[in-house]
Amino acid sequence: MRVLGFESSCDETGVALVEFTEQGCSPKLLADALHSQISMHQAYGGVVPELASRDHIRRVIPLTREVLARAQASLADVDVIAYTQGPGLAGALLVGAGVAVSLAAALGKPTMAVHHLEGHLLSPFLSSDPPEFPFVALLVSGGHTQLMRVDEVGSYELLGETIDDAAGEAFDKSAKLLGLPYPGGPHLAKLAESGNPEAFALPRPLMHSGKPDFSFAGLKTAVLTQVKRLGDAPTEQQRADLAASTQAAIVEVLLKKSLLALKESGLKRLVVAGGVGANRMLREQLNAACAKRGIRVHYPELSLCTDNGAMIAMAAALRLQRGIGATAPSGGGFEVRPRWALGEVS
């Protein structure tokens, strides 16, 4: 069976075609195409929701054509159409959902609504080293920071999450204070390469709470205080030091809480997903700490850490393989869920 998947929850339009056979065989990515709106939003220092929606409208059909052409397939070869139902920006979600449901209605094919974070969480199944269930998942994106226990596809138990900003948000907001372009995470990581991570003493909130929870809002305030202290003309080295210290603070907390969740659950497998999962320092530190404890760590391919259509088609394929059904073709009615907790997915 073949699943065509659409992702449009934020500032990336992603479309992909995934093929699967019976349970036990890994679904295969036949083709995917992505358009990132980053350069469009950069002028505003963040995502402008209405511009995002309009751009999704412009991109989604050409990307679909591209995916089908690359897979040497046609719409007649598609069996199920999947789309991100939430969480995300309402207007942006409506574009992908609208296209997916209309296409399904026109073709007489069923649809499957996918939770965006379930897509991230299952994205390592697209890698050459897919994980086995059960595992602990560290979901670190621009909007979410959560530790989940995952026993099977559709079985997600929240172990802990951020009480304020997400890890990606902490990267992005600190980067902005350092005068770096949006989205700041990768830029801050680059600047940090030439900095001293111990140069600035930044807070690690909730570090010793004894629970797998997070708080990053205070870090941003501490970075602001340091930026003000450095004045109008900080040297390149001072900026790099502050970037390195910020990254070290975020990574240390993510590492400590992941290890805590692993210890408490007794599981020996960690899956890291979401945009911040691309961070090299985070990967190095998790790899080293987990190797010592006999824990295996799985990541999505670097290109699939941030939003993409492949993870949505993949999540749908894994569900369908397990007999978690798709919705029969309807007259075209649908809803999106801008706010939607992963724990509500069954």
User: By CB under 5 A, is residue 165 in contact with Zn ion?
Assistant: no
Amino acid at 179: G
CB 334 within 8 A of CB 80: no
Residue position matching structure tokens 């959902």: 97
- Residue 168 binding result from ligand KG4, Zn ion, none, given CB thresholds of 5 to 8 Å by partner type: ligand KG4
Number of residues forming the site for ligand KG4 (CB under 6 A): 19
For the CB of residue 29, give the shortest distance to Zn ion in the complex, in Å.
18
Q: Which of 96, 142, 160, 195 binds ligand KG4 (CB under 6 A)?
A: 142
Distance (Å, whole) CA 151 – CA 148? 10
Nearer to Zn ion, 93 or 206 (CB): 93
Q: Which of 86, 168, 195, 300 binds ligand KG4 (CB under 6 A)?
A: 168
Residue 295 token pair? 């824990």
Which of these segments, 72-80, 137-145, 229-237, 331-339, binds ligand KG4 (CB under 6 A)?
137-145
- Find out whether the peptide bond into 87 is cis, omega within 30 degrees of 0: yes
Q: Which of 118, 161, 172, 241 binds ligand KG4 (CB under 6 A)?
A: 172
For the CB of residue 190, give the shortest distance to ligand KG4 in the complex, in Å.
8
Distance (Å, whole) CA 97 – CA 8? 8
User: By CB under 6 A, is residue 118 in contact with ligand KG4?
Assistant: no
User: By CB under 6 A, is residue 96 in contact with ligand KG4?
Assistant: no
User: By CB under 6 A, is residue 309 in contact with ligand KG4?
Assistant: no
Helix/strand/coil percentages in the chain, nearest 5: 45, 20, 35
For the CB of residue 119, give the shortest distance to Zn ion in the complex, in Å.
8
Task: Give, as ranges, the residues between 191 and 250 that touch Zn ion (CB under 5 A).
Answer: none
Nearer to Zn ion, 77 or 301 (CB): 301
Expressed in angstroms, the distance from the first to the final Cα of the chain is 22
User: By CB under 6 A, is residue 87 in contact with ligand KG4?
Assistant: no
Distance (Å, whole) CA 145 – CA 176? 20
Amino acid at 193: E
For the CB of residue 303, give the shortest distance to ligand KG4 in the complex, in Å.
11
Secondary structure (3-state) at 294:
coil
CB 140 within 8 A of CB 189: no
Which of these segments, 138-146, 228-236, 255-263, 287-295, binds ligand KG4 (CB under 6 A)?
138-146
Distance (Å, whole) CA 92 – CA 101? 15
Nearer to ligand KG4, 119 or 131 (CB): 119
User: Using the 8-state DSSP alphabet, how is residue 329 labeled?
Assistant: P
Secondary structure (3-state) at 215:
coil
Task: Give, as ranges, the residues between 137 and 156 that touch Zn ion (CB under 5 A).
Answer: 141
Distance (Å, whole) CA 36 – CA 16? 15
Distance (Å, whole) CA 82 – CA 138? 24
- List the one residue out of 297, 314, 310, 309 whose CA is nearest residue 131: 297
For the CB of residue 116, give the shortest distance to Zn ion in the complex, in Å.
6
CB 159 within 8 A of CB 136: yes
Nearer to Zn ion, 123 or 226 (CB): 123
Task: Give, as ranges, the residues between 296 and 315 that touch Zn ion (CB under 5 A).
Answer: 307
User: By CB under 6 A, is residue 299 in contact with ligand KG4?
Assistant: no
User: By CB under 6 A, is residue 307 in contact with ligand KG4?
Assistant: yes
Q: What are phi and psi of 237, to 5 degrees?
A: -65, -40
User: By CB under 6 A, is residue 241 in contact with ligand KG4?
Assistant: no
Contacts with Zn ion by CB under 5 A lie at 141, 307
Contacts with ligand KG4 by CB under 6 A lie at 10, 141-143, 168, 171-172, 183-186, 189, 274-276, 278-279, 306-307
